[in-house]
Amino acid sequence: MGNIQLKGIEKSFGTKKVLENINLDVKNGEMLALLGPSGCGKTTLLKVIAGLLKPDKGDIVFDCKSVVDIPTGAREVVMVFQDYVLFPHLNVAENIGFGLRMAGIPKKERSKKVSQLLELVQMKGFENRYPRQLSGGQKQRVAFARALAVEPKVLLLDEPFSNLDYRLREEMREFTCHLQRKMGVTTILVTHDREEAMMTADRIALMLDGQIKQCDTPVNLYFKPNSPEVASFFGEANYIQGRVIEGIFQCSLGRFQAPLGLEGKVSAMIRPEQIEISDNGEWPIKGRIIERRFAGEKRYYRVKVGDYILKVTSPSWKTLKHDSVGVVIDFNEISYFKDVKGGS
């Protein structure tokens, strides 16, 4: 089991409040990404979970048991830091077996486990090398193996890919996801990279200024954010102001079917790829392209529609010959915010 509940966690350094009323449930076996910009408090929260820092307020519950007063060593939690911190004077096998030796596991059993872990992280044949003789990716694999050796209930990864180059980062992301699913260990991955969070995690907790603003699946955070602040963290968005009356969204572009249960003054939030444009045929909303950019896999447009300038993206293989276009937006499928003023 490796169920984590954080209840009302608060932490300040001097007068600076770094964590504010953090409430979070992480399910057994889940991969949760803690995402947020630099300085928002991610590492501090990870340290609080690991027991390296004590919260000023709140409770941490592992599998129905409060661990807030239990020291790090007894929490069955392992934290892997950004810089891997392998012991330089120990070889790969000794690094991986370190925790087992500390726990008094006999040599024979230890060697068997180390050998299994070397295989798991695809590092067989490297057991006698020292950290200085390894690449960044290899060091990271050893750090994972060392962390997993003690069979933790919870694995905490602090920006584990940030020291790797682009290609290796992709490879290690995939490897980590695969390993995490195989081992089924509850994992919290700290990152400031939204794409990394979306591609690796089952759920993402978005943290801004010491608060968790929304915790949900990557798809929901992107398409169903609970505020414009969350929406803008995950990418570009268009906002159209209007009013829903008896299930119909009325705005300066026309009258459209709205989702059930919505009434009153709202802002419709539309991602650029949720807008379709075509210069071929009669579509109900008329627009004019005022800017085009080609970016390889996508084309970026700015389209003037009524009083709005909409950001639109389309697959790059689609070409538009004319600037006069028809526009389609499925107002039934997009998100709405109540009574807020959005961007352009």
Binding site for ligand ATP (CB under 6 A): 13, 18, 36, 38-44, 192
Q: Which tokens is 12 given?
A: 């300040």
Give Cβ neighbours of residue 329 (< 8 Å, ≥ 6 apart). Answer: 253, 256, 270, 274, 275, 276, 285
In the complex, what is the shortest distance from the CB of residue 209 to ligand ATP, in angstroms, rounded to a whole number? 10
Minimum CB distance to ligand ATP smaller for 16 or for 341: 16
Minimum CB distance to ligand ATP smaller for 36 or for 242: 36
Minimum CB distance to ligand ATP smaller for 189 or for 325: 189
Q: Which tokens is 233 given?
A: 């963290």
The answer to whether residues 277 and 260 touch, using CB atoms and an 8 Å cutoff, is no
DSSP label at residue 251: E
Minimum CB distance to ligand ATP smaller for 157 or for 310: 157
Q: Which tokens is 290 given?
A: 């005022």
The answer to whether residues 186 and 153 touch, using CB atoms and an 8 Å cutoff, is yes
In the complex, what is the shortest distance from the CB of residue 190 to ligand ATP, in angstroms, rounded to a whole number? 6
> Can you say whether the dihedral through the CA atoms of 79, 83, 89, 92 is positive or negative?
positive
Give Cβ neighbours of residue 195 (< 8 Å, ≥ 6 apart). Answer: none
Minimum CB distance to ligand ATP smaller for 153 or for 192: 192
Minimum CB distance to ligand ATP smaller for 53 or for 93: 53
In the complex, what is the shortest distance from the CB of residue 261 to ligand ATP, in angstroms, rounded to a whole number? 36
In the complex, what is the shortest distance from the CB of residue 10 to ligand ATP, in angstroms, rounded to a whole number? 13
DSSP label at residue 176: H
Length of the chain: 344
Which one, of 68, 49, 55, lies nearest residue 157 by Cα? 49
In the complex, what is the shortest distance from the CB of residue 199 to ligand ATP, in angstroms, rounded to a whole number? 18
In the complex, what is the shortest distance from the CB of residue 56 to ligand ATP, in angstroms, rounded to a whole number? 13
